Structure 1
Amino acid sequence: MVAQKVADASSFRASELDTRDSISSATTPGFRHFFGTPAPSQRFRAFGIDPLESPSHHAKLRGLMHRLSRRMDAAIKWPSHQVRSLEHWENPSIPSGYTYLLQFIAHDLVHSAIPLSVAGGLGRGTTNARRTPLRLETLYGSGPVGSPHIYALDAPSDDRRTKLRLGRMRWKEKQSASGCPFRDIARTPAENVTGIDRSIAGVRVALTEALVADPRNDDHAVMSQLTALFALLHNGLVDIIRRREGNAGPNGQFGAAYKRFLCARGALTAIYHNIIRNDLMRRVIHPAIYASYCGPAPQFIDRTDLARKAAIGNWEIPLEFSHGAFRFGHAMVRPEYQINDLSLHDLNNTLEKSSVNDPANMPLDETWMVQWSRFFEINGSTPNFSRRIGPHLSDGLGNDQIFPAFDETERVGLLYRDLLGAGLAGMWSVDSLIAAVGNRGPNFIAMSRLLEDRDYRVNELREWLSAGRAYGALTDDDIETLSNDPPLPFFILFEAMQQTKGLQLGLLGSIIVSEVIFGALSSDPQSACGGSLADQLDLVAREFYLTNVLQDIPEISNMAQLVELTTEIAELRQAVPAFL
């Protein structure tokens, strides 16, 4: 779920995907490779054959990834926790809200029209549209002028727009009242336009259109609620700025509104970056790697002049991150969620709750209003914890309605898509990637026997693959090719299981993720300058105003503090259902 879900993927059949032509080894716009494009001898191979050079071999690749995904259906026998109330598969280090913050970040880094697994190769609608990473484009789109549908009008007599649209929740058993709080993303019916009306005649109008900048932010109920959380905070920041900015005069209304919007956006971006750096990454990255990258001047081993490229809107994301290491978030998804005091929902129900899949039951009702202390540790709360990171996904991610089959394997689910997409991307093989990292940062590789000792690595993979033959019907040839040349997203999960018992990423996964996330943060001059959040907010405010209109914003370095601030400024402390 961290990566992009296929919209209406059932319309794509294998016969419609032309994979007969040779696929270029060059990357598609918006993507690149770590350390430059790998030579053919450095790329991932299946049965010794490079998928990029042999499209006729794709059927064998699909079969192999199908069988590997079946092997990964086997539940992992995790060690028990000292706290007996926890399930063995739960990760008390990472509350489940971070699973969806990772998905939100993925949307802020990658936006392609068609997933690589469905497209069948690079360049077929797989261009990455993101060119300025981690600037909240997934929330703000192109701003009030470029994306007016996601912004609310400030006044009835003019076209100023500074706040993000929100929608009222509904009550399941009664009509929504005017006092019903704005706690859902904005949704609307498609009226007086062509297309199928999905309303229930005489009962309910279908709200098929989610008014958000990135449609993936309505992939499911938790994702849309997280988007609404960020929108509520933006709107609250606008109010804070408005109260301190003074009277701009009748001729300065539009200019004042534009400055107010930009200041609020800059403030929320600074808060977002502070949380990524000091909260999220600290939780998911191996501690030794985090210590190497979290400081003000990390020594990147994949230097491609990130700051310059981002400044001119030409930033590119490595495929080894987008289609490899960052897929780890899918393994963190729980089988069910306690949404609030009123309701427990299983994953299938959660995934299906969107304007695309269930428009006649929108907006979200009270059973879907997220109580954020269930997703982050707030005032001593015990939240839903994420799953440990390893080569196994919750059954709900095999939902055949959300992730239907699209090729001759008839394999449904997200896991197969992750594996196949990685196989088609022309990425560095695990061995070559380890060697390249070792050449630039040998101290990293020396910390891990799994990375440093190839014979040990191959044997560990072989033993794990052999232990679950009954699930995937893996042949001896399958096991040997996967042990010697594992697809990157699988290896990142396997490494986390072996090195950290699934509590964080392993060393290689941590290096790839840190290079991209901390690299993206370093490309933003405001974030790269370091200093406290208060210092950064002061810089943001003084870019637009003579005084620091953001001086009352407290230090926010984690998601719990973000939720608490939002609760206060949106006046939701007494909300029903509970917000906090």
Structure 2
Amino acid sequence: MVVQKVADASSFRTSELDTRDSAYAATTPGFRHFLGTPAPSQRFRAFGVDPLGSPSHHAKLRGLMHRLSRRMDAAIKWPPHQVRSAEHWENPFIPSGYTYLLQFIAHDLVHSAIPLSVAGGLGGGTANARRTPLRLETLYGSGPVGSPHIYALDAPNDDRRTKLRLGRMRWKENEPAAGCPFRDIARTPAENVTGIDRSIAGVRVALTEALVADPRNDDHAVMSQLTALFALLHNGLIDIIRRHEGNAGPNGQFGAAYKRFLCARESLIAIYHNILRKDLMRRVIHPAIYAVYDGPSPDFIDRPHSATGFPAGDWEIPFEFSHGAFRFGHAMVRPEYQINDLSLHDLNNTLEKSSVNDPANMPLDETWMVQWSRFFEINGSTPNFSRRIGPHLSDGLGNDQIFPAFDETGRVGLLYRDLLGAGLAGMWSVDALIAEIGSRRPRFVAMSRLLADRDYRADQLRKWLAAAPAYGALTAEDIETLSNEPPLPFFILFEAMRQPQAEGLHLGPLGSIIVSEVVFGALAGDPRCADGGSLAGQLAAISREFYPANVLQNIPDISSMAQLVEFTTEIAELQHAVPAFL
């Protein structure tokens, strides 16, 4: 059964579900709803009509989401914050590297063939293929046997594949004596196959194929560079482990490679989980909510699975997370990025740098080699800061080449897709979701007037929606509908913007609860880090599974992205890389 049974199904009023609900649940494997499937009376409505039950109403829904997205084009007038050197719209507490770590995590949790907004409804194409949350499937694919194209031969005398492929960067002008290091993801031309040749004759062969487990990890230049960073760390861990191996001889190479790969993969997953728990979540989650979930045994309110883990094939992600709360990362994207000491690129240019969009200019050249102290705080560096979280996206996310129009509204951009996808998913309405959380954890709702006082919430939404009449041309009926039934991704951004003493510096309580339940819940489902024990202890236990000695004892306690970058720089011997890596 796709929609999981829970201990107290009656509290979710599943008896109220009609046959249409059962049909849509059966066609969306890999997804479920937060806190159980909402009854029809609890679902999001537009102009009083449930879009899930009324496909004929979709045209009106599209028009409403189009106009709301136009209203969200208006820039937010943020109040000043304590860090005087930062712009008012910047968030000095979340360097922009975390924006793309969030995107990487999204890829590690959700993989659908067709976006729900483009598909126009729930169906097989919108199924979530991920079955093991936060296990770096987006990086490793199905391993060296199942995904051999993303792995490289280990050594001239060893035909086993345990390292991830990387590609050489390109020099735009003259190649210096330092050579062309492996700093990009691996890319290759599609020779001797059908299709259109996108090469520039006599100049450059088009590298149309990115050799990565998840093609979305080449969505743009920063994403592919982050993927290369994780690959460099994995390959460095392989080298560390190999140095402790004995001479197994030709017949022992397969067993040695098998152990080496699994040990390195599990080690990187443990490091990744430690960073999510201690670094990323601490930055983006409301402090009071983070304190509840960061303990060794969080009291989860959304547990359709056993606390002992997720059986293979059973894990599902809530729509309210994937198509609702976790879309907040889009609001953090900057309009431009200082990629390294010499290169400043605007967002449009950054988004277009991929093998799909610009194959004739691949691999990435030196102007796109990320200097990681520009994306994380390292040794006192001043990185690019993310944008504050609120109902406004950078203009580049309206790029009509990357996010073209796909329906009769003609609306381009990512924002409209986010809003429409949420409207088509049959999700909880904001009011019903707050009421359900309040019935289970009253203290969560009590901490925020925006959640606890329904009239206040509607009034605040109404005032904001009406405040910029030049944007969106919202009608009085639109404003009344949206103030009483806001789409979840919009409300999560609105809530973050309206937080007292924070104003967009982190998520509000509702967004924090949904994100914490899913991310900390997935971490709790992994027995290796379920108790939040020390990284050193986890690495020692991993090593014992494969080797008599602790081959991982020299790995430091990596609990932040800055520490991950510094360790990768050391083990990949990139201290003096040109362009600078650190």
TM-score category of the 2 structures, normalised to the smaller one: over 0.9
Q: CA deviation at 1:78?
A: 0.1
Alignment size in residue pairs: 560
Q: CA deviation at 1:159?
A: 3.3
1:135–1:307 distance in 2 versus 1, CA, 3 Å = farther
In the alignment, is the contact (CA less than 8 A) between 1:306 and 1:315 conserved in 2? Answer: no
Counterparts of 1:2-151 in structure 2, within 5 Å, are 24-26=23-25, 28-151=28-151
Range moving further from structure 2, 303-312 or 42-51? 303-312
Query: Within the alignment, does 1:233 sit opposite 2:233 as a pair?
Result: yes
In the alignment, is the contact (CA less than 8 A) between 1:65 and 1:419 conserved in 2? Answer: yes
In the alignment, is the contact (CA less than 8 A) between 2:309 and 2:527 conserved in 1? Answer: no
Query: Within the alignment, does 1:315 sit opposite 2:315 as a pair?
Result: yes
Q: CA deviation at 1:124?
A: 4.1
Separation in 2, partners of 1:124, 1:130:
14
Separation in 1, partners of 2:159, 2:193:
24
Q: CA deviation at 1:342?
A: 1.1
In the alignment, is the contact (CA less than 8 A) between 2:91 and 2:388 conserved in 1? Answer: yes
Separation in 1, partners of 2:124, 2:537:
44
In the other structure, the counterpart of 2:551 is 549
In the other structure, the counterpart of 1:524 is 526
Q: CA deviation at 1:82?
A: 3.1
Separation in 1, partners of 2:411, 2:477:
21
Query: Runs of 4 or more off by more than 6 Å in structure 1?
Result: none
Counterparts of 1:382-397 in structure 2, within 5 Å, are 382-397=382-397
Letter of the structure 2 residue corresponding to residue 544 of structure 1: F
Separation in 2, partners of 1:543, 1:416:
48
Separation in 2, partners of 1:516, 1:408:
35
In the alignment, is the contact (CA less than 8 A) between 2:115 and 2:126 conserved in 1? Answer: yes
| 1:544-567 C-alpha deviation (Å, 9 max, x unpaired) | 111110000000000000000000
Letter of the structure 2 residue corresponding to residue 508 of structure 1: L
Q: CA deviation at 1:155?
A: 3.3
Q: CA deviation at 1:67?
A: 0.1
Q: CA deviation at 1:468?
A: 1.5
Counterparts of 1:159-238 in structure 2, within 5 Å, are 159-174=159-174, 179-238=179-238
| 1:29-48 C-alpha deviation (Å, 9 max, x unpaired) | 00000121111000000000
In the other structure, the counterpart of 2:275 is 275
Letter of the structure 2 residue corresponding to residue 26 of structure 1: A
Counterparts of 1:248-397 in structure 2, within 5 Å, are 248-307=248-307, 310-397=310-397
| 1:491-546 C-alpha deviation (Å, 9 max, x unpaired) | 00000000130000000000000000000001100011331100000011111111
Q: CA deviation at 1:248?
A: 2.2
Q: TM-score, normalised by structure 1?
A: 0.95
Q: CA deviation at 1:81?
A: 2.5
Counterparts of 1:369-448 in structure 2, within 5 Å, are 369-448=369-448
In the alignment, is the contact (CA less than 8 A) between 1:306 and 1:520 conserved in 2? Answer: no
Q: CA deviation at 1:86?
A: 1.2
Q: CA deviation at 1:83?
A: 3.2
| 1:339-374 C-alpha deviation (Å, 9 max, x unpaired) | 001100000000000000000000000000000000
In the alignment, is the contact (CA less than 8 A) between 1:170 and 1:176 conserved in 2? Answer: no
Separation in 1, partners of 2:124, 2:314:
20
Separation in 1, partners of 2:177, 2:488:
51
In the alignment, is the contact (CA less than 8 A) between 1:22 and 1:55 conserved in 2? Answer: no
Query: Within the alignment, does 1:509 sit opposite 2:521 as a pair?
Result: no
Separation in 1, partners of 2:155, 2:265:
20
Letter of the structure 1 residue corresponding to residue 401 of structure 2: Q
Query: Matched residue of 1:162: which SS?
Result: strand
Q: CA deviation at 1:465?
A: 0.2
Separation in 2, partners of 1:324, 1:111:
16
Q: Structure 2, unaligned stretches of length 5 or more?
A: 1-18
In the alignment, is the contact (CA less than 8 A) between 1:311 and 1:523 conserved in 2? Answer: no
In the other structure, the counterpart of 2:542 is 540
In the alignment, is the contact (CA less than 8 A) between 1:25 and 1:426 conserved in 2? Answer: no
In the other structure, the counterpart of 1:4 is none
In the alignment, is the contact (CA less than 8 A) between 2:234 and 2:268 conserved in 1? Answer: yes
Query: How many percent identity over aligned positions?
Result: 85
In the other structure, the counterpart of 1:492 is 492
Q: CA deviation at 1:25?
A: 4.5
Separation in 2, partners of 1:156, 1:568:
24
Q: CA deviation at 1:26?
A: 2.3
Counterparts of 1:466-477 in structure 2, within 5 Å, are 466-477=466-477
Letter of the structure 1 residue corresponding to residue 432 of structure 2: S
Separation in 1, partners of 2:38, 2:177:
59
Letter of the structure 2 residue corresponding to residue 55 of structure 1: P
Letter of the structure 1 residue corresponding to residue 279 of structure 2: D
Query: Matched residue of 1:469: which SS?
Result: coil
| 1:137-196 C-alpha deviation (Å, 9 max, x unpaired) | 000000000000000012345530010000000100135989311000000001111111
Q: CA deviation at 1:408?
A: 0.1
Query: Matched residue of 1:153: which SS?
Result: strand
Letter of the structure 2 residue corresponding to residue 485 of structure 1: E
Range moving further from structure 2, 193-202 or 528-537? 528-537
- RMSD over equivalenced CA pairs, Å: 1.4
Query: Matched residue of 1:174: which SS?
Result: coil
Letter of the structure 1 residue corresponding to residue 25 of structure 2: A
In the other structure, the counterpart of 1:561 is 563
Query: Matched residue of 1:298: which SS?
Result: coil
Range moving further from structure 2, 244-253 or 443-452? 244-253
In the alignment, is the contact (CA less than 8 A) between 1:26 and 1:37 conserved in 2? Answer: no
In the other structure, the counterpart of 1:17 is none
Letter of the structure 2 residue corresponding to residue 31 of structure 1: F
Q: CA deviation at 1:386?
A: 0.0
1:178–1:314 distance in 2 versus 1, CA, 3 Å = farther
